[in-house]
Structure 1
Amino acid sequence: MQFLWPQYLWLLLALPLLVLLYVFVLRRKKKLALRYASLSMVKEAMGAGQSMRRHLPPLMFLLALAAMLMAAARPVAVIALPSAQQTIILAIDVSGSMRATDVEPNRLVAAQNAAKSFIADLPRHVKVGIVAFAGSAQVAQLPTMNREDLVTAIDRFQLQRATATGNAIVISLATLFPDHGIDLNAMQGGRERMRGFAIDAERRPEKKEFTPVPPGSFTSAAIIMLTDGQRTTGVDPLEAAKMAAERGVRVYTVGVGTIDGETIGFEGWSMRVRLDEETLKAIANRTAADYFYAGTAQDLKKVYQSLSSKLTVEKKETEISGLFALAAALLSLLAGGLSMLWFNRIL
């Protein structure tokens, strides 16, 4: 625990002085009590039979003062709090390589099942959008809190040719920032030169002035991309990751499949599909996020469970002055209440 105003902690040195003052008052009271002729009056004045109980309210009040001074120093601690993220975009690969069976029953079905479990575990107030990508990327479901619509969108996935991981990130960003003037048609081709989402500044409609922010600083949304990572077309995924980083959006990547991969065939052609971990790790690192490896269907489910926890609860450095102030108030009330109950006076 740290303190924003540690200089106020010096005031704690006044507490021993208060203890000495309390002892002085008790001794003075004892001397005055000895002047009484009646022994019963002496006992009453000295509080005989309740010596321990009589010190409890002052002790609690002393602790209350200590808590007040601690609160004034503005203590800060790292604690787990509900995340501020309200929107999550699930970008799921539906390219032909996802038909590989190195993850049972195949990569796509395992991804669909894990995604549905992930959505079911999220708090109901979190919006989720679905982006499906292969040779191009499309929004399968706009961000919504309706879990049934999300499941329906996931069940509609159809395998397609090619893989454009960069396009998936761009479309996800366009979904999160609809007012940034992203030219979706131009970006989908993936062949145009990209410079801050600009393809042709003269023909492109005006957009809001954009100022880059630190990576990972936008805490209202996140992108989770599940893929085997083998880009074959479209936007450079590292350029797309840079755009996400400039907007502070974290892109969590999930690599599905085995490192060695396998050879798949379809409609007379065959190809070797391997997991491109290097690219997926680079995307996550550039956006201040994390990369997760899922070599089996069970691993994939665990990954999504981990992501659910990571996205809904996060550790933050938070000022906890209010907790100390609350403790001080409760101790003060308890000290005063016990004093009135036992001695019919406040301390």
Structure 2
Amino acid sequence: MTFLSPERLFLLGLLPILIGVYVVLQLRRSHYAVRFTNLALLSQVAPKRPGWRRHVAAGLFLTMLLLMIIGFARPATAVKVPRDRATIMVAVDVSLSMMAKDVAPDRFGAAKEAAKKFIQDLPRRFNVGVVSFAGSANLVAAPSADREAAINSIDRLALAKRTAIGEAVFTSLQGIRSFDAQANNDPPPAHIVLLSDGDNTTGRTVQEAIDASRAAHVPVSTIAFGTPYGTVDIEGETTSVSVNKETLRTLAEGTTGKAYEAADGNQLSEVYANIGSSLGWKTEHRDVSARYTGIALLFAIAAGGASLAWFSRLP
């Protein structure tokens, strides 16, 4: 628990003073009682019945003051609330190496299906955008809550030459910064999910992408598609296109993201949970002073009731 107005807690220093005054008065009361020589009057001034009752009302009253001072200092508790501007950028590799059929039906088809399922399963509080990349990277769906637009943009993707993973990250970051009017100065909390077979053959380097993502505080999680045995036929020539998991892992770990493999369905299911836990909520401190004021009221009622019941007066 924290306090939104902690400076008001100085009032707690008054409680020991009140307790001290109360103790002094009780001692004076006992001293005053023994001065009476009239035994009949003494039994009324200092009765022999247990004196604990007279302290109960005082204790309840002091507890009430304690709670009221705490409430006055505006206590607050940390609560998790949804982040309405949270944005996910999905970057899909459309390079020719994604034609390899070592992943059914092929890397490209598997990546598109995984991207669409990922978007469909995202909580509604997330905005989502789509980037495609081959020799260059393009924002094909600006980040928004429109799931249909994002999925349709994936259906329209077409293959092209070369692979620019670094450019995909830079284009995704630019998409995040253009999310709304305040995003350039106050970017939304964001995460990039990049689906690829791993080679970076053109454009800015993976290390430059890592540096840019870290500077923007945007993690990049990667999903690797392919095996070491993939091949593609380009212009009548068969070319080996082994998946480069190390490049993708370097990108993910360098940006505090996670690296996954498309072949592992259990790992893929973790993507949603990990992103949801890091982006879906933010911690805010909410004033709970009313809680303490309400409890203080109960103690006030209890103090008044005890005093009326035992002494026929209010404390």
Q: Residue 90 of structure 1 contacts residue 223 of structure 1 at CA under 8 Å; is this kept in 2?
A: yes
Paired position in structure 2 for 1:127? 127
When residues 158 and 58 of structure 1 are mapped into structure 2, their CA distance, relative to the original with a 3 A threshold, is: same
Q: 1:69 to 1:5 in 2, by over 3 A?
A: closer
Report percent identity of matched pairs: 30
What is the RMSD computed on CA atoms of the aligned residues?
4.6
Deviation at 1:301, TM superposition (A): 2.9
2:229 corresponds to 1:262 = yes
Tell me the alpha carbon deviations over residues 208-252 of structure 1, each in whole angstroms, 9 at most, x when there is no partner: xx9xx9xxx955444332222211223323334434444x25141
* 3-state SS of 1:310 partner: helix
Aligned equivalent of 1:330:
294
The correspondence of residues 131-150 of structure 1 with structure 2, limited to 5 A, is 131-150=131-150
Match of 1:61 among 59, 65, 82: 65
Q: Which has the larger radius of gyration?
A: 2
Which residue number in structure 1 is paired with residue 197 of structure 2?
228
Q: Does the 8 A contact of 1:223 with 1:249 survive in 2? A: no
Residues 193 and 220 in structure 2, CA contact (< 8 A), matched pair in contact too: yes
Q: What does residue 271 of structure 1 align with?
A: 239
Indicate conservation of the 8 Å contact 2:94/2:160, yes or no. Answer: yes
What are the superposed Cα offsets for residues 197-217 of structure 1, whole Å, 9 maximum, x if unpaired?
xxxxxxxxxxxxx9xx9xxx9
C-alpha distance in 2, partners of 1:261/1:79?
47
1:88 and 1:221 in contact (8 A); partners too: yes
Matches within 5 A, 1:1-347: 15-25=15-25, 48=53, 55-65=59-69, 80=80, 82-83=82-83, 85-100=85-100, 103=103, 105-178=105-178, 218-246=187-215, 248-257=216-225, 261-267=228-234, 268-284=236-252, 288-298=255-265, 299-313=267-281, 320=285, 322-323=287-288, 325-343=289-307
Q: Note the C-alpha offset of 1:131.
A: 0.7
Contact 1:89-1:222 within 8 A present in 2 as well? yes
Is 2:95–2:135's contact at 8 Å kept on the other side of the alignment?
yes
CA distance in 1, matches of 2:112, 2:22: 70
Residues 164-219 of structure 1: CA distance to partner in whole angstroms, max 9, x if unpaired? 1122123223333459xxxxxxxxxxxxxxxxxxxxxxxxxxxxxx9xx9xxx955
What is the letter of the counterpart of residue 134 of structure 1? A
Please tell me the residue identity of whatever aligns with 2:203: G
8 Å CA contact retained: 1:82, 1:312: yes
Cα–Cα, structure 1 residues 240 and 118, in superposed 2: closer, same or farther, change >3 Å?
same
Alignment check: 8 A CA contact 1:33 1:45 kept: no
Give TM-score, length-normalised by structure 1: 0.64
- Counting matched residue pairs gives 300
Q: Give SS of 1:266's match.
A: strand
How far apart, in 2, do the equivalents of 1:168 and 1:161 lie? 14
TM-score, normalised relative to structure 2: 0.70
Structure 2: where are the runs of 5+ without partners?
Answer: none
What 5-or-longer segments of structure 1 have no aligned partner? 180-209
Q: 1:62 to 1:98 in 2, by over 3 A?
A: same
2:138 aligns to what SS in structure 1?
Answer: strand
